[in-house]
Amino acid sequence: MASSFITQDNVHGFWVHDSFLQVVAWGMVNVIDEMTIPDDIWPKGEFRDHVFYSSQGYFVGFTTLGITAEYIASSERRIIFNDIINKVRSFFLSKGDWLSPEELNAFQLTENTARKWIEPLETKRILKILEYLEKVINDQITIQAGDFIDYEF
C-alpha cells in the first residue's frame, strides 16, 4: 500500500496510506462543491480539481492535497482551509462509526485508478487524519519524514 508524506513546508508532516487520503480528499471535494462561492474563486477551480484527482487515486505515492505554498498562499486561505477541515470532519461524523465498502467504492469515479474496498473503514481513522492535517496547516506538527512513526490511522 503506497503512502505519502503530507507536509506544507517539506520538512514537517505525517505519513498516511494513500487509500485513506483518497477518502479524506473525497470528503474535501464534497465540502468544496457545497461552498457558495464562484467556481473561479479559491478553493474552487484548480485547487478543487487537484483534490478531486487525489480522491480518484491519480497521485499514488506522492499525494499532497495541495497544501503547499502553491495553494495555501495566505493567512486568509489558511483560515478557509481550516474551515474546510471542520466541515469535512462534520461530513464524516454524519456518516456514523463506519464507512461501508459500498460507499467507499461509490465515490471513486475513475475506473482505471479505483481502489476496491472490501471491508468497512472506521470513521475515527479518517477523523484522526483530519486532526493531523489540521496540525500541518497550522504549523503545529513536529514530525519529520525520517522520524519513527508512533501514530497509526
Structural domain including 46 reads 3-137
**Helix H or strand E segment including 98:** strand 98-99
Residue 151 maps to a domain: no
Residues of the chain with pLDDT under 70: 1
Residue 32 maps to a domain: yes
Number of domains in the chain: 1
pLDDT tens by residue, 74-102: 888 899 999 999 999 999 999 999 999 99
Residue 86 maps to a domain: yes
Residue 148 maps to a domain: no
Give me the pLDDT at residue 119, please.
97
Residue 97 maps to a domain: yes
Give me the pLDDT at residue 66, please.
82
**Euclidean distance between CA atoms 4 and 16, whole angstroms:** 6
Name the CA radius of gyration of the chain, rounded. Answer: 15
